[in-house]
Structure formats: C-alpha cells, structure tokens
C-alpha cells in the first residue's frame, strides 16, 4: 500500500483545530460589545457636536439682538443684517417667539432713529419676523406696534426715499401675514393707492414728471397693493376693477421698465380675479389694451437696454395670454422631495413677495415653515432623514445620461425650426 501523505499548511492544521471554548466566546462577546459601544459613542459625539453648534448659533443670535441697540450705527447695521440672514435661511420659531417683543422694540427704534440703509434693513427684518411667527396672535402683536411707524414713514414726503420704498414693500407683506381685520387691509390699500396713482396720466392727458427714485416708490406701492388684492372679497374686487382697470394701462407707457412690468402683472392679476368673480366679465377697452401689450411683447426700440427689452418681452407675452385667453404659463418649484406648481397670477404674486425677503432660503421655508406651507396649501411639513433623502436622489451618472438625452432631443427639435442655408450656386 502506498504511504499516506501528511497534509501540510492549512490542511494539516484542520486536524488540530480546538473546539470553541467558553474563553473564546467571552472574547468574541467583549469584541462585539466594544464595537457597539464605539458606534454608540460616535453617535453621541455627533449629537453633542450638533447640540454645541446649535448653542453657538443661538448665542450669536443673542449677540445680534443685543447689538441692535448699540450706539454705533455700523454695529446696529451689522446686527440687523445678521438677524435677517438667520431668519431667511433657518426656521427659528421657538427661539424668536420668546424674544419677539425685544426684537420688535429694536426694529421700531431703528426705523424711527436710524438713517436710510438702517431703516431699510429694519423694515426687511420686520417682514422676516412676521414670516417666522406666522399668522397668529404673536405676529399681530408685532404688526400692531410697527404698522403706525411704517405708515408714518411711507406718507412722509421729507423722509428718506429708500426708507419709504422699503416700508412700502414691508407694509404690504406684513399686512398679508398679520392683519386680522379686512377693513384695515382696505385702508392700507388706500394708502398705497395714494402713492402709485400719482403716476397715472392726468385728466388733461398730460403725464406727471416723476424722478426715478419716486417712480420706484410708486412701483413698490403698486406691487404691495396687488399683493393685498389677492385676499380681497369679490365685491371689493368688482369695485377695484371699475375704478382702476381703465387707468392702469397708462402705466404701461412709463419710462421705467420695472413700473411697466409691475403694471402689466397687476393688470393680468386683476383680470384673473375679476373673471373668477364674474365669468361673463367684459372689458370695453380690451382691444386697445391688447395692442399695447402686444407692442411691449415685441418691443424693438433701440433706445432701451437689451436686458430691459428681453425681460419685458418675456413678461408681456404671458400678460397678453392672460388678458386675451385667461391663460397662465405654469411653473414648477422643486424643494427637497416635494414640488409646487405656480399655476395662477395670484400664486405668482404671493410667491414673488415671499421670495423677495427670504431669497435662497425659500426652499427651506417651503419645506418646514408651517405658515408658508399653509399659504400654498402644501399640508403639514414632511420630515425625511438624510439617509432616505440620499437614497431617493439619482446618481451622478444617471443625471448625466438624462441631461445628454434631453440636450440631444432639444437640439433635434430646434433644428426643425432653424433656417437651412442652401448654396445658391447649385441651383
């Protein structure tokens, strides 16, 4: 018989493997517990780090609040800007609610005693404060204190023009958020009317001579008036249409592009509202109005800047469709895993008003600010953890392939409408 070969290496060791003893089991258990404790400690450290970062952030906010009453105008300005940035980008309801009257007193003091830029910052901060607090008793208390100051500055011809412009915009949004009496809303609208109607053509057909700064004030007043128009009753909308619809088209001939655009959007909004109230509404001056709108949508005047003409054409094409056909070019806003459709002039005016103050933080407010979600009928906030959100996102390769396919399809579609140049010599 052949000799049996001794196995070497791993094969030889298998015969000498010792059974799994209690000592080994205890070592394995200790190792497992150690790894669990390490994972737990890492999670605790992350939680502690986040808590410390939150405490540091709140400490900075407290310093900003205290600095709004500093003797130095530069320090006050920096504090106001810091609070504005924080309120625009984060949801701070609980922190702000406890200190709302302190912040309100600081805003009031800056509006009354500050100059120009400081007053503008204080007016913007007042809007952000109301947006954070939402529509309720807290924001009503804030607005009750600040509304007389806003109106005083707005109607004071000797006040700083930039401060008046800021107050015109802030008063409109704060009224939308915090005013609880519709009659007070109408009174505020009359204050705005007393401003922008000064840009109307006079009864003798002459045009008022208004400097650019005052024109901007009238533009801001018109936009705030249009914002409040979105919450008026049907009977008041009828009265407004009868009073202003024949006069607003004269603002389309204003030299300032922002005034022309504001007037066009307000006309489209008013047509949308009055048609909702009265589907059989018929406007006698529809034909000349459409001619004006069409001229602005195809404006080629060389004395106007290219950027102004491009912006104007885009807006007035949509305004013309709204007036002629009652149509609106819808737009989809995506934020997180949700989306919102801007499908009417009412929604557009409201969204633009909030975005003017919140800026790039609008997506955060759409996701987590209960008041703004209620305004746009988005329901309660949806809280999704970062892991689930990352799993729902497409990969970089998928996005690249999608964009490449979309670019190819868009190029093919555009080529159909491009002029094909032909060599004349071949014919």
pLDDT tens, position by position, 372-382? 999 999 999 88
Place of tokens 């589907």: 279
pLDDT at 219 > cutoff 60: yes
Q: What is the pLDDT of residue 385?
A: 54
Rg for the chain, CA atoms, rounded: 31
pLDDT tier at 19 (50, 70, 90 boundaries)? very low
pLDDT band at 7 (very low <50, low <70, confident <90, very high): very low
For the ranges 19-28, 137-146, 304-313, 404-413, the lowest mean pLDDT is seen at: 19-28
Task: Assess whether pLDDT exceeds 60 at residue 23.
Answer: no
Residues near 238 by beta carbon (within 8 Å), at least 6 away in sequence: 274, 277, 278
Say what percent of the chain tops pLDDT 70.
82
Place 384 in a pLDDT band, splitting at 50, 70 and 90: low
Could you tell me the CA-to-CA distances from 180 to 136, 144, 184, 186, 369 in Å, in that order? 9, 10, 8, 12, 20
Q: Mean pLDDT for the chain?
A: 85
Q: Would you kindly state where each structural domain of the chain is located, as residue ranges?
A: 55-177, 331-379
71-82 as b/e, with b when 16 or more CB fall inside 10 Å?
A: eeeeebbbbbeb
Quote the pLDDT of residue 18. 46
What is the pLDDT at residue 131? Answer: 96
Class in CATH terms, 55-177: mainly alpha
Among 32-46, 131-145, 219-233, the range scoring the smallest mean pLDDT is 32-46
The top-scoring range by mean pLDDT among 49-58, 275-284, 401-410, 416-425 is 275-284
389 band by pLDDT with thresholds 50, 70 and 90: very low
Whether 66 shows a pLDDT value over 50: the answer reads yes
- Would you state the pLDDT for residue 11? 41
Q: So what's the pLDDT on residue 324?
A: 92
Share of the chain above pLDDT 90, in %: 65
Residue 387 clears pLDDT 60, i.e. is over it: no
pLDDT in the model for residue 393: 56
């Amino acid at each position: 018989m052949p000799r049996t070969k001794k196995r070497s290496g791993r094969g030889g060791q298998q015969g000498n493997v010792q059974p799994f003893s209690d000592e080994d089991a205890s070592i394995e258990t200790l190792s497992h517990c150690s790894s669990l404790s390490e994972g737990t400690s890492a999670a605790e450290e992350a939680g502690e780090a986040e808590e410390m970062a939150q405490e540091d952030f709140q400490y900075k906010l407290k310093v900003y609040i205290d600095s709004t009453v500093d003797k130095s105008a530069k320090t006050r300005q920096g504090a106001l800007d810091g609070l504005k940035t924080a309120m625009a980008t984060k949801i701070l309801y609980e922190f702000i609610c406890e200190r709302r009257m302190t912040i309100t007193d600081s805003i009031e003091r800056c509006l009354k005693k500050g100059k120009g830029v400081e007053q503008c910052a204080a007016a913007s901060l007042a809007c952000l404060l109301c947006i954070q607090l939402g529509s309720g008793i807290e924001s009503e208390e804030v607005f009750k204190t600040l509304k007389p100051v806003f109106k005083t500055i707005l109607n004071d011809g000797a006040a700083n023009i930039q401060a008046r412009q800021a107050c015109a915009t802030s008063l409109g949004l704060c009224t939308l958020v915090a005013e609880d009496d519709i009659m007070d809303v109408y009174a505020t609208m009359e204050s705005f009317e007393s401003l922008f109607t000064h840009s109307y053509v006079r009864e003798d057909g002459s045009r008022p001579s208004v400097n650019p700064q005052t024109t901007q004030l009238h533009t801001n007043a018109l936009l705030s008036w249009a914002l409040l128009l979105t919450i008026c009753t049907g009977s008041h909308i009828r009265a407004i249409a009868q009073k202003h619809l024949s006069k607003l088209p004269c603002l389309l001939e204003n030299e300032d592009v922002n005034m022309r655009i504001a007037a066009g959007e307000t006309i489209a909004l008013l047509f949308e509202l009055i048609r909702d109230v009265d589907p059989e509404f018929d406007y006698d001056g529809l034909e000349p109005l459409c001619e004006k709108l069409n001229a602005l949508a195809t404006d080629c005047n060389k004395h106007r800047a290219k950027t102004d003409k491009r912006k104007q054409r885009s807006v007035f094409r949509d305004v013309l469709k709204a007036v002629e056909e009652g149509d609106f070019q819808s737009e989809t806003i995506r934020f997180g895993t949700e989306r919102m459709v801007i499908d009417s002039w009412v929604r557009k005016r409201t969204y633009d008003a909030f975005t003017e103050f919140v800026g790039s933080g609008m997506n955060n407010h759409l996701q987590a600010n209960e008041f703004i979600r209620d305004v746009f009928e988005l329901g309660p906030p949806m809280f999704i953890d970062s892991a689930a959100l990352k799993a729902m996102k497409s990969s970089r390769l998928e996005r690249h392939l999608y964009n490449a396919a979309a670019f190819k399809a868009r190029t093919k579609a555009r080529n159909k409408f491009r002029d094909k140049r032909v060599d004349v010599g071949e014919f």
